[in-house]
Amino acid sequence: MNIDILLGLQWGDEGKGKIVDSLCPVYDVIARFQGGPNAGHSLEFNNVKHVLHLIPSGIFHADKLNIIGNGVVIDPAVFKKEIEELGPPVSELIKRLIISNKANLILPSHRILDAAYEMSKGSSRIGSTLKGIGPSYTDKTSRNGLRVGDIMKEDFRQRYNDHIINHLTILKNYDFKFDLKEYEKGWFEGIEMLKKFPIRNTEYLVNELSVKGKKILAEGAQGTMLDMDFGSYPFVTSSNTISSGACTGLGISPKLIGDIFGIFKAYCTRVGCGPFPTELFDETGANLRNIGHEFGATTGRPRRCGWLDLPAMKYAIMINGITKLFMTKADVMSGFKTIKVCTSYNIDGKICTELPFNNDGMIEPVFTELEGWKENINDKREYNELPVALKNYIEFVEQQTGVPITMVSVGPDRKETIFRN
């Protein structure tokens, strides 16, 4: 059981990139298993911030192997740009990054379809990142997709053209202007970049490495509340962001899974549309956004901010089988006089702790109020150095969820991390 999973318990942006990077010293392999360029995983070291979209967050460690698994959808144009911005030359990166031949491609027309669908939804739009995620996964599940392994085939260009013709036929139904040529050039340049990297049936590789005793960390994208089945449907992404997604997205048996780390912010954020029971529309919400720099790493959109939502978090812990919790961004709340935590919902006068099926009704959060702390905590490196009120907050969440919080992040830098046994 040497494959661990790290995934988000909220609506994404919990700090997965930073934590995966911090955990790298204990792993040999970092593998992405779902999502695509809708993800934006930030990590910081030596005073430089990097944002990764498709590439696993272990890429800055020269001795680690990174795998983009079959469950990921890849836009070659985004891939090329990301590779070029990383720093190390391609000749070096090809030793650190392997791509599944079964990962589906995001075509230029998928991005256009994404935008056309969103526009046609009007006020019920999802708030998608418009990276073509939904249309690409739709083609995958309807068995029409093109995969990374196909780029080596002689008839690839013909198959690409056939897909474009199909997509253009669909787009005739939408009053939506677009310029396919604008995307295509960069896309084909991206295909050439993809060809430089090892493309393999990575399911064999991951299982072989596991048999050899290598430590593997599966890095989730998005968060549990954006999961296609268990998130706030239809305001979700188009993949399974939960722990079982790691099995299908890498080709591994559940028997191989060891720890399942659930990462959460000490408060909540959501970018895009959909229900968010604890959302704050007041000054406190604005403070969380400004102090926490809560602006999307992929789209730059302001993130909606609110208090921690325990019913949602307990649900996420249950669905994923979380063994350990990691808490990020408590430092953002330093100086807050009081901190609220939602412990149940009031739905039409009934108190409940289960997430309702319908998203459209009024969910009123029931809060417990805890004392805040004044001290800045960015320079703390030991759990015992943390303010008593923060430790009380941490222990309250542990007691409510029944899962230990074994890591507390106190800033965006790799070093600003407290591990707790």
Q: Taking the complex as a whole, how short is the minimal distance between the CB of residue 11 and ligand IMO, in angstroms?
A: 6
Looking at 9, 54, 83, 226, which residue binds ligand IMO (CB under 6 A)?
Answer: 226
**By the rule CB under 6 A, 56 interacts with ligand GDP:** no
Note the residue count of the chain: 421
**Shortest Cβ distance from residue 182 to ligand IMO (Å)?**
20
Contact call for residue 329 and ligand GDP (CB under 6 A): yes
Distance CA 311, CA 232 (A): 13
272 touches, from Mg ion, ligand GDP, ligand IMO, none (C-beta below 5 to 8 Å by class)? ligand IMO
Catalytic, out of 4, 13, 114, 331: 13
Least distance to ligand IMO, CB of residue 231, Å: 8
Strands 97-100 and 199-200: parallel
412: partner contacted, choices ligand IMO, Mg ion, ligand GDP, none (Cβ within 5-8 A by kind):
ligand GDP
41 is known as an active-site residue: yes
**Using the rule CB under 6 A, is 44 a contact of ligand IMO?**
no
The answer to whether 14 contacts ligand GDP (rule: CB under 6 A) is yes
Whichever of 133 and 386 has its CB closer to ligand IMO, that residue is 133
Q: Which of 35, 37, 40, 76 binds Mg ion (CB under 5 A)?
A: 40
- Going by C-alpha positions, the residue among 214, 262, 205 that lies closest to residue 401 is 262
268 lies in the site for ligand IMO, by CB under 6 A: no
Q: Which of 4, 21, 41, 53 is labelled catalytic?
A: 41
Q: Minimum CB separation from ligand GDP for residue 249, in Å?
A: 17
CA distances from 207 to 199, 204, 212, 247, 256 (A): 16, 5, 9, 11, 9
Asked whether position 163 contacts ligand GDP by CB under 6 A, the answer is no
Task: Give the binding range for Mg ion (CB under 5 A) out of 33-41, 120-128, 244-252, 253-261.
Answer: 33-41
**Interface with ligand GDP, residue 271, by CB under 6 A:** no
With binding defined as CB under 6 A, does residue 40 bind ligand GDP?
A: yes
Choices 43-51, 277-285, 290-298, 336-344 (CB under 5 A): range interacting with Mg ion: 290-298
400 Cβ contact partners less than 8 Å away, ≥ 6 residues apart = 310, 314, 341, 343
Rounded least distance, CB 37 to ligand IMO, Å: 8
**Segment lying near ligand GDP (by CB under 6 A), choices 39-47, 208-216, 386-394, 397-405:** 39-47
* Residue 11 beta carbon to Mg ion: minimum distance, rounded to whole angstroms: 10
63 is catalytic: no
Instruction: Say how many residues touch ligand IMO, by CB under 6 A.
Output: 24
Nearer to ligand GDP, 2 or 406 (CB): 406
Three-state SS for the chain is: CCEEEEEECCCCCCCHHHHHHHHHHHCCEEEECCECCCCCEEEEECCEEEEECCCCCCCCCCCCEEEECCCEEECHHHHHHHHHHHCCCHHHHCCCEEEECCCEECCHHHHHHHHHHHHHHHHHCCCCCCCCHHHHHHHHHCCCCCEHHHHHCCCHHHHHHHHHHHHHHHHCCCCCCCCHHHHHHHHHHHHHHHHHCCEECHHHHHHHHHHCCCCEEEECCCCHHHCCCCCCCCCCCCCCCCHHHHHHHHCCCHHHEEEEEEEEECCEEECCCCCCCCECCCHHHHHHHHHCCCECCCCCCECEEECEEHHHHHHHHHHHCCCEEEEECHHHHCCCCEEEEEEEEEECCEEECCCCCCCCCCEEEEEEEEECCCCCCCCCCCHHHCCHHHHHHHHHHHHHHCCCEEEEECCCECCCEEECC
131 binds ligand IMO (CB under 6 A): yes
Shortest distance (Å) from residue 384 CB to ligand GDP: 18
Q: Which residues sit at the interface with ligand GDP, rule CB under 6 A? A: 8, 12-18, 40-42, 44, 292-293, 297, 328-329, 331-332, 409-412
Q: Which residues sit at the interface with ligand IMO, rule CB under 6 A? A: 8, 11-13, 35, 38-41, 126-129, 131, 133-134, 221-223, 226, 237, 271-272, 297
Known catalytic residues are 13, 41
